[in-house]
């Protein structure tokens, strides 16, 4: 190796198989290895006889860099080691700063060393070569950086493929960066939908920062169901790998030895693996003739809706129908007026999946036509609408009731335990309530979304009294058949809610 040379080497996580051949060769030829003592155990098996290990202690990086420079000027081949990649929160930036006069550390550490002056433009250009000029008394030192596997890369490989798309890395340590700036970066990462790796997430003195990061991500629209990987001591014997979600992330289970990876809006977990798709299948899906273009549009729309919602941090059983409702109406007031019983979506989907809910009754054909045929065929569910049934007209004329009421009476005789979907007629809701109270029907569930000005609100209040029946209600005067149908579709596709993958049956 050349004299007066410093090699800044990234050791990777620490396992021998994760060190590059270039790093191992450098370590084998080193006269001196400078670093934090914890990392010497990773390189000692490769050191030549007589190689000296110099430890400057924890949090004494500048002193370590100064010492390496002096040893290099004595003609020794010096290898400065960092864990992971030396250029990512490691020693490489510090040594280059020091060489180019961006710090006064050399002047303050020894009376025999003068301050390094600011570089001229020509000196600045020298940083792009393997040799940089250092003012007297150091002369010229050649600096080389050897990359290593960073902690976020090792963590990602253990989790699956979570960094398959645009990503950023944020350190939560505010020792050298003001928290106000860190928070700006966190918010930018959340808004930009970046996969985000988190270094230095927590220590004994920094316990609240990860709580704040989670809060910001949720406030900026990242779904509570977003996968989060936690890897502790990546690549070392103490290694631990965990998967959770942004909504259930417990910062108390994290320490300074952990790296976190937070997924983007497309990330999902399959077979225990954290995956962020790159988009290789998009062109195929858009060109196949099976409605994939519509599905992709829904994906983009749902991401937009999540980013603009005021309160996206709601349970999945509420979020899924809410996303469908806003997508159909472009009305964010749905956050306020969409009401449902606890876990209603989940309960109704469970009935469909178990085969105990096989029939849906709508008040009008428009609502029936809006329920996805693909989902119905896939799940073996039938939709019934009696509005054009001659019996409804005859019954309405004979009894002096509306055709919607007659429809519900006929449906109660044939499908008393169906899911009832009402998007037009408040009289249909009143009739359902009356029939339930008389014991003539027991719906599996009710979607109440009639629209209008006369008796609409009252009919929805009446439905709320049916406390034993799962219900989804669009409160107030808003509603409509298209909205009723999309809420029904949200129930039929609830198994897609965990990964936020809408539009499978469009």
CB 4 within 8 A of CB 141: yes
- Secondary structure of residue 59 in the 3-state scheme: coil
271 and 293 in a single domain? The answer is no
Q: Exposed e or buried b for every residue in 330-367, given b needs 16+ CB within 10 A? A: eeeebbebbbbbeebbbbbbebbeeeebbbbbbbbebb
From first CA to last CA, the distance across the chain in angstroms is 65
CA distance 264 to 146: 30
Q: Is the peptide bond before 197 cis (omega within 30 degrees of 0)?
A: no
Number of domains in the chain: 3
Of 91, 113, 146, which one is at a domain's C-terminal end? 146
CA atoms of 389 and 176, how far apart (whole Å): 75
What is the rounded CA–CA span in Å between residue 119 and residue 396? 93
Domain boundary among 241, 275, 309: 275
Per-residue pLDDT tens digits of the chain, which is 506 residues long? 446 889 999 999 878 899 999 999 999 999 999 998 888 999 999 999 999 999 877 678 888 898 999 999 888 999 999 999 999 999 999 998 888 765 444 444 443 332 333 333 333 333 344 444 444 334 578 899 999 999 999 999 999 999 999 999 999 999 889 999 999 999 999 999 999 999 999 998 899 999 999 999 999 988 999 999 999 999 888 999 999 999 999 999 999 999 999 999 889 999 999 999 987 665 554 444 445 666 778 888 888 898 899 998 899 999 999 999 999 999 999 999 999 999 999 999 999 999 999 999 999 999 999 999 999 999 999 999 999 999 999 999 999 999 999 999 999 999 999 999 999 999 999 999 999 999 999 999 999 999 999 999 999 999 999 999 999 999 999 999 999 999 999 999 999 988 777 877 77
Q: Looking at the structure, do residues 157 and 142 belong to the same domain, yes or no?
A: no
Residue 376 in any domain: the answer is: yes
Q: Is the domain of 122 the same as that of 156?
A: no
pLDDT at residue 236, rounded to an integer = 87
* Same structural domain, 353 and 339: yes
The whole-number pLDDT of residue 3 equals 62
Determine the pLDDT at residue 140: 75
The answer on 211 and 323 residing in a single domain is no
Reference 148, options 196, 91, 198; nearest CA is 91
- Cβ–Cβ contacts within 10 Å for residue 3, how many? 12
| CA 112/CA 98 separation, integer angstroms | 16
107 shares its domain with 169: no
**pTM more than 0.85:** no
| Same structural domain, 467 and 393 | yes
Q: Is 281 domain-assigned?
A: no
Nearest CA-CA partner of 251 in 223, 220, 209, 221: 209
Q: Structural domain of residue 126, as residue ranges?
A: 5-146
Mark which of 130, 146, 162 sits at the end of a domain.
146
Q: Which of 409, 411, 384, 414 is nearest to 396 (CA)?
A: 409
- Residue 502 belongs to some domain of the structure: no
Catalytic residue numbers, as ranges: 327
| CATH number (domain holding residue 361) | 3.40.50.10230
Query: How far, in Å, CA of 446 to CA of 459, rounded?
Result: 12
**pLDDT the model gives residue 99:** 82
User: Is position 283 within any domain?
Assistant: no
Shared domain for 269 and 363, answered yes or no, is no
List the one residue out of 358, 371, 345, 372 whose CA is nearest residue 495: 345
CA distance 459 to 317: 24
What local confidence, expressed as pLDDT, does residue 125 receive?
Answer: 35
Q: Tell me whether residue 480 is in a domain.
A: yes
Same domain, 480 and 339: yes
| Residues 436 and 477 reside in one and the same domain | yes
Beta bridge partners of residue 197, listed in sequence order: 169, 261
Whether residue 426 is found in the same domain as residue 318: yes
Closest to 451 in 3D by CA, of 442, 460, 439: 460
Question: What local confidence, expressed as pLDDT, does residue 15 receive?
Answer: 82
CATH assignment of the domain containing 235: 3.30.950.10
User: Would you state the pLDDT for residue 56?
Assistant: 75
Q: Tell whether 467 is covered by a domain.
A: yes
CATH number (domain holding residue 35): 3.40.1010.10
Looking at the structure, tell me whether residues 120 and 22 fall in a common domain: yes
316: Cβ–Cβ under 8 A, 6 or more apart, which residues? 224, 225, 346, 497, 498
What are the CA-CA distances from residue 444 to residues 138, 345, 470, 497 (Å)?
Answer: 83, 12, 7, 21
Query: What pLDDT, on a 0 to 100 scale, did the predictor assign at position 124?
Result: 36
């Amino acid at each position: 190796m050349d004299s007066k040379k410093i090699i800044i080497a990234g050791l990777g996580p620490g396992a021998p198989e994760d060190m590059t051949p270039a790093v191992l060769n450098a370590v084998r030829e080193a006269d001196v290895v400078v670093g934090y003592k914890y990392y010497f155990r990773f390189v000692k098996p490769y050191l030549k006889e007589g190689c000296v290990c110099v430890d400057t202690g924890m949090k004494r990086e500048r002193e370590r860099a100064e010492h390496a420079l002096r040893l290099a000027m004595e003609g020794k081949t010096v290898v400065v080691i960092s864990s992971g990649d030396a250029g990512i929160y490691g020693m490489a930036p510090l040594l280059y700063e020091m060489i180019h006069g961006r710090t006064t550390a050399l002047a303050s550490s020894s009376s025999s060393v003068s301050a390094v002056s600011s570089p001229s433009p020509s000196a600045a250009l020298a940083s792009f070569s393997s040799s940089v000029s250092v003012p007297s008394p150091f002369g010229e030192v050649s600096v080389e950086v050897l990359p290593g596997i960073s902690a976020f890369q090792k963590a990602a490989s253990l989790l699956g493929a979570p960094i398959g798309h645009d990503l950023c890395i944020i350190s939560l340590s505010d020792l050298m960066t003001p928290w106000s700036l860190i928070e700006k970066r966190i918010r930018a990462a959340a808004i930009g939908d970046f996969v985000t790796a988190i270094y230095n997430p927590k220590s004994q003195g920094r316990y609240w920062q990860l709580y704040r990061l989670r809060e910001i991500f949720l406030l900026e629209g990242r779904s509570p169901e977003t996968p989060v990987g936690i890897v502790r001591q990546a690549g070392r014997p103490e290694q631990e790998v965990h998967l959770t979600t942004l909504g259930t992330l417990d910062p108390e289970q994290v320490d300074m030895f952990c790296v976190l990876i937070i997924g983007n809006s497309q990330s999902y977990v399959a077979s225990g693996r954290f995956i962020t798709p790159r988009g290789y299948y998009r062109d195929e899906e858009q060109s196949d003739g099976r409605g994939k273009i519509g599905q992709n549009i829904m994906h983009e729309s749902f991401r937009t809706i999540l980013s603009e919602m005021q309160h996206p941090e709601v349970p999945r059983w509420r979020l899924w129908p809410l996303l469908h409702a806003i997508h159909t109406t472009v009305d964010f007031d749905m956050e306020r007026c969409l009401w449902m019983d606890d876990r209603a979506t989940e309960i109704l989907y469970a009935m469909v999946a178990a085969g105990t809910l096989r029939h849906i009754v709508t008040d009008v054909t428009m609502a029936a036509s809006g329920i996805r045929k693909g989902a119905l065929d896939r799940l073996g569910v039938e939709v019934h609408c009696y509005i054009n049934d001659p019996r409804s007209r005859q019954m309405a004329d004979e009894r002096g009731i509306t055709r919607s009421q007659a429809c519900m009476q006929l449906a109660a005789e044939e499908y008393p335990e169906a899911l009832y979907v009402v998007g037009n007629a408040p009289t249909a809701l009143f009739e359902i309530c009356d029939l339930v109270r008389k014991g003539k029907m027991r719906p599996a569930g009710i979607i109440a979304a009639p629209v209008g000005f006369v008796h609409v609100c009252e009919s929805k209040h009446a439905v709320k009294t049916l406390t034993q029946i799962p219900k989804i209600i669009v409160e107030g005067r808003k509603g409509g058949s298209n909205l009723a149908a999309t809420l029904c579709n949200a129930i039929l596709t609830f198994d897609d809610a965990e990964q936020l993958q809408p539009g499978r049956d469009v």
